[in-house]
Amino acid sequence: TQLLEQSPQFLSIQEGENLTVYCNSSSVFSSLQWYRQEPGEGPVLLVTVVTGGEVKKLKRLTFQFGDARKDSSLHITAAQPGDTGLYLCAGVGQNFVFGPGTRLSVLP
Amino acid sequence: DAGVTQSPTHLIKTRGQQVTLRCSPKSGHDTVSWYQQALGQGPQFIFQYYEEEERQRGNFPDRFSGHQFPNYSSELNVNALLLGDSALYLCASSFSPRQPQHFGDGTRLSIL
pLDDT tens digits, residue range A29-88?
989 999 999 988 999 999 999 999 999 999 999 999 999 999 999 999 999 999 999 999
Domain span at residue B83 reads 5-111
Q: How many domains, chain B?
A: 1
Cβ separation of B58 and A98 shorter than 8 Å? no
- Please report whether residue A65 resides in a domain: yes
CB contact B50 to A (< 8 Å): no
Distance CA B51, CA B40 (A): 33
User: What confidence score (pLDDT) does residue B1 get?
Assistant: 61
CB contact A14 to B (< 8 Å): no
- Please report whether residue A108 resides in a domain: no
Model confidence at A94: pLDDT above 80:
no
Cβ separation of A42 and B106 shorter than 8 Å? yes
CATH of the domain at A81: 2.60.40.10
CB contact A41 to B (< 8 Å): yes
Mean pLDDT value of segment A13-33: 95
- Please report whether residue A46 resides in a domain: yes
User: What confidence score (pLDDT) does residue A1 get?
Assistant: 72
- Please report whether residue A9 resides in a domain: yes
Give the HSE-up count for residue A21: Cα atoms under 13 Å, Cβ half-sphere. Answer: 29
Average pLDDT, chain B: 95
Domain span at residue A9 reads 5-101
User: What confidence score (pLDDT) does residue A57 get?
Assistant: 97
Model confidence at B98: pLDDT above 90:
no
Provide, as residue numbers in chain A, all residues whose Cβ is less than 8 Å from the Cβ of B89.
Answer: none
Segment B40-88, tens digit of pLDDT = 899 999 999 999 999 999 999 999 999 999 999 999 999 999 999 999 9
CATH of the domain at B50: 2.60.40.10
For residue A47, what are the CA distances in angstroms to A65, A96, B43, B58?
A: 11, 15, 17, 24
